[in-house]
Amino acid sequence: MPEDTDQNQTPYNPMIRDMPADMRPRERLIGLGAGALSNSDLIAILLRTGVKGENVLSLSNKLLSRLGGLSGLSEATIGDMCILHGISEAKACQVVAAVELGKRAASMNPQNRPSIGSPEDVNNLVGLEMSQLTQEKLRVLLLNTKNRVMAMRDVYQGTVNSASIRVAEILRPAVRENCPYMVVVHNHPSGDPTPSPEDILVTRRLNQSADMMDIEVLDHIVIGQKSFVSMKQRNLGF
């Protein structure tokens, strides 16, 4: 019987100091600016160090995945983070403090909020994070009259289909926060962003209900592993 050389081997996880300089988060921040870094890169800088056998980038990715991405991180408590092995109370405090500063800065200057003018803008905002999720998640982006993102809300997690989704739940955040425009985004963990018949049905029902409430659904974006689909551009459910 051939010897199994792959199973039970520990994945190669180099320390940050052993990685090329152009892959290290701190060096990339200095050389390229914060805007060039991914969410996990930025969180890795806050965490500073990993744990034995796992570098800080891997730990950062695990934290994002466990909390459901950046939106989940923004609502997480210190206790929520400390459940993950390698996240000490001190590390969690650093992340919570940084998130709170970001929230305060955004509230002071609404003009700095991202503006959505195309499906590509939506993908740039949430695509990287949502493409890495292992479960389907449906998120709504709430926009003001200038198409600036006022808030992002996660509505469903799990199987996103016509049987499990209530359109009222998708519209609720826009109604509650009095936003006239919204963009719906969900991911396909399979990696294929092709909208399913259920996706089209949900989108059609959503548009019909939104029209009656004077809310405009600007698009429904499906995020895959390396690409995305604008259902509005393909006239699917619109």
Whether residues 177 and 90 share a domain: the answer is no
Same domain, 62 and 88: yes
pLDDT in tens, 32-49: 898 888 898 999 999 999
Residue 218 shares a structural domain with residue 151: yes
Report the C-alpha gap between 203 and 21 in whole angstroms.
45
Percent above pLDDT 70 for the chain: 87
Residues whose CB is less than 8 angstroms from the CB of residue 32 and which lie 6 or more positions away in sequence, other chains included: none
CA distances from 91 to 31, 56, 226 (A): 25, 11, 31
Residue 238: name the closest of 176, 53, 229 by CA: 229
96 and 125 both lie in a single domain: no
Q: 191 and 101 in one domain?
A: no
Residue 4 above 80 pLDDT? no
Q: Using DSSP, state whether 51 is helix, strand or coil.
A: strand
Q: What is the DSSP string of 186-232?
A: EE-TTS--PPPHHHHHHHHHHHHHHHHTT-EEEEEEEE-SS-EEETT
Beta-bridged to residue 219, according to DSSP, are 183
Give residue 194's domain range. 113-230
Last residue within a domain, chosen from 108, 138, 154? 108
Please report which confidence band the pLDDT of residue 192 belongs to, taking 50, 70 and 90 as the band edges. very high
Position with higher pLDDT, 105 vs 53: 53
Q: How many domains does the chain contain in total? A: 2
Of 57, 79, 108, the residue at which a domain comes to its end is 108
Per-residue tokens: 130: 């949502």
150 with 173, same domain? yes
